Every structure is written in C-alpha cells, then in structure tokens.
Amino acid sequence: MTSPELAEEVLDDLDVLRARDPRGLLPAVAGAGAQVRETARLTEEAGLERVTGGGRPRGLVIVARREGAVAASVLRALLGPSSPVTVDVVPGPDLPVWTGPTDIAVVATRTGAGRYAVTPAYEAARRGVTLLGIGAEDAPLRAACSTARMPYVPLPRSRVRHTTLWSLLTPLLRLATDLGLLRPEAADLEAVATALDEVAEECGPARESFTNPAKTLALELLDAFPVIAAEGPLADTAAARFADQLATLAGLPTSGFRLPDQRVAACAVLGGPLAPRDADDFFRDRAEDEGRRLRLLTIRDTDAAHHDGAGEREPRSAQEAMAEVLRTAVAGNVPVSGLAEHGDPDRYGRLPRLARQLAVADFSAVYLALALDQERALRR
C-alpha cells in the first residue's frame, strides 16, 4: 500500500501527476464548468422545441448507463415525488413495453454508438415516441435521430471518458426546464458552471495538499474502506457517482447508505466488527498498519429533511438519521470525512451545491488513482 507521505509527494508534484495521467483526466475534470457552458450552447442549437413543442409528456424514459444513469438520477431526484411526469431510467437496448407517443425518450451516452444507444432510438421512432439524442458528434445515434427528424446534442470528440457527466446532465436539465418541470432558478446552468469553476480553483493540481480539499480527501481514502452516508435522494446521486469513480478509477470498493431509510444498516456497519473499537493513537507508526480501516464519508443535503414513509416504527428525517450515524461513528472511533463541506456550502443553491460535491468527488477519485498510479497500470 502506498504510504501517505509518498502519496502526498506525488500529488504535489505536477510533473509526476502529468506523467501518471496519460488520458488527461485532471484537465477534463477541471474543465467541467466550461463543459456545462459549451453543452448548453450545443443544446440550444439542437432545437429542443421539436421535443417540447408537444407539451408536457406522460413520462420521460431515459436510456443511459454509467454517467448517463447518474445524470438521469440527478434529474429524478430534483423533480422529487411530486413530479407531474414519471421518470424512468433504463439501460437499453430495449425500451419499456408501455413507452408510446405520449412519452419522451432520451438516449444519453458519451459515444452515441453501439446497440444500447442506436436500437432504442430506432425503436422510439418506430413507435412514434418523441426522441432526444445525446452523444458524440459523428455517432450512429445522430443518424438515427436525423432519420426520425428529432434533435440531437452533438458532444465534441474531445470529451474524456469518465468525465462527461455534465455533458449528459446539462441537456436533461434544459429539457426539464423547457417542459416546465423545473423552475429556471432551480436549474440555473450558469450558477452550476460558476460553482464548478470555483471547485477547479480550490482543488486544481497546482493547489498543495494541505489547502486542497480533494487531495486531502484522496489521502484520507488511501488506507480506508469508505462507508458513504448520503442525506436524502439527491445526495445519494453524488454517492453513487463517487462510488463508481472510486471503483473504476482507483479500484477502491465502497459501502453506501441512503438516509433515512438505510440508517439502521449504516449504524450496524459503523458499530460492527470492522470498527476499530480502541481509540486511535495519532503517533503510532502507520507503516505497521495492515489492511484498510473504516472511514465514514458524509454527503449532506440540507434540503432533504423530510421524513421517511408513514408506517415506519421509528420515522426519522434524513438530517436526524445523519446525526445518529455520526454519533455511531464517534462511538466506534471511526474517522469521518465530509464531501465538499469546506467553505460555506449554504451560500449555494441546491443544484450548485450538488455540483460542488460531484466535482470534489471527481477530483478526489482521480487524485487517488494517480497517487496509486492506477491509470498507467490499467493501460499497460
């Protein structure tokens, strides 16, 4: 296992970072704000009125995987249970049998290629379903949308794999706004881009580890088994994204719990056999440590304080459940990290606050992968 001292040296050496990042993940993550602005322009040019002109649909069917599925989950969480339309996320290639002309199908994929993208597009056209495609600018999906005379958001080929979340989420937010499902101020793309730009400055590679929230978190996860506790559905989308990035980029498994409904399970893990029990000796020789230690990672959403379903024996709000999870971690001597809780998170709106969490998560996962030299190892 890489020592924290060596990892910190790696993360603060720009030449080493550049050598360990052949795909350019760090520049791609740092450019998330520019990605939002460029994709917003491309969405505007695509002509969404061909989709929204028919009025509010019965439901949205979003065909997506990985980053596209996270983007769809963000939209569904923002709309919440009071959404006037259903939002279904399916992996493709098949559309749900009930999808029909009163629905809108969105195929969201970085590449716009393969049967999981092209097959549902042609199937939507055959059934008379209104269609929106999102993918690479010269992809087969574009031809399918053109055949159906439906709009297509062409993403530049410069998009880097694992860093295109905002290219897929931006058109979805714009679509929901134009359909009247989200208030414009709730999906302010310029506010999101500004928040992402701020994180790029705070967490960029030139910022040293002791003042860099993403590098600090990466170092904390170096010898950890993360237990992610998400405060409500929207925070849970950030948790899912972070878990996927940590696994895919750094090879690090995680355990995730959405609060309040998984409060009991989270507390059981934090107080279970993997908890350290004894007080941690700060001055011990960590080189002698064996294996990974539990670390609680909290993802907060202060707007998720509603209570869970009626009929529960002990209904608790997400906020109350998070407080109990934190108490359990302290009692079990489990260290705690908070995702993007630096600065003043409450000065941001709900979506920009989520954008900051997603950006710090992406930076941290990339830094951890580079500290472990995982990127070069996977390309050998």
**pLDDT (tens digit, 0 to 9) for every residue of the chain, 380 residues total?**
677 888 999 999 999 999 999 999 999 999 999 999 999 999 999 999 999 999 999 999 999 999 999 999 999 999 999 999 999 999 999 999 999 999 999 999 999 999 999 999 999 999 999 999 999 999 999 999 999 999 999 999 999 999 999 999 999 999 999 999 999 999 999 999 999 999 999 999 999 999 999 999 999 999 999 999 999 999 999 999 999 999 999 999 999 999 999 999 999 999 999 988 665 554 555 455 567 899 999 999 988 855 444 444 455 789 999 999 999 999 999 999 999 998 887 888 999 999 999 999 999 999 999 999 987 665 54
Q: Give the whole-angstrom CA distance, residue 289 versus residue 4.
A: 12
Let me know if 338 is exposed, middle or buried by CB neighbors in 10 A (0-12, 13-18, 19+): middle
pLDDT value for 85: 97
Six-digit token pair at 293?
């230690």
Count of beta carbons in the 10 Å neighbourhood of residue 162: 20
DSSP 236-289: HHHHHHHHHHHHHHH----EEEEETTTHHHHHHHHTSTTS--SPP-TTS-GGG-
Strands 224-231, 293-299: parallel, antiparallel or unpaired by DSSP? Answer: parallel
The DSSP letter of residue 349 is -
Name the phi and psi angles at 101, rounded to 5. Answer: -60, -20
pLDDT value for 347: 84
The dihedral through the CA atoms of 216, 220, 225, 229 has a sign that is negative
pLDDT value for 292: 87
- Write down the pTM of the prediction: 0.93
Count of beta carbons in the 10 Å neighbourhood of residue 212: 24
**CA angle at 252 for the pair 112 and 228, rounded to the nearest 5°:** 95
Write down all domains in the chain, each with its CATH number in brackets. 4-24+194-379 (3.40.50.10490), 28-187 (3.40.50.10490)
Q: Give the whole-angstrom CA distance, residue 6 versus residue 9.
A: 5
pLDDT value for 280: 54
Q: Which amino acid is at 278?
A: D
Six-digit token pair at 283?
């001055």
Residues 6+ apart with CB under 8 A from 145: 121, 131, 132, 133, 151, 152
Name the phi and psi angles at 239, rounded to 5. Answer: -65, -45
Q: Give the whole-angstrom CA distance, residue 209 versus residue 213.
A: 8
pLDDT value for 303: 86
Q: Where are the alpha helices (DSSP H) in the chain?
A: 4-11, 14-19, 25-30, 32-46, 49-52, 67-79, 115-127, 140-147, 165-178, 189-203, 213-220, 233-250, 263-270, 318-331, 350-371, 374-379
Q: Answer whether 359's CB lies under 8 Å from 209's CB.
A: no
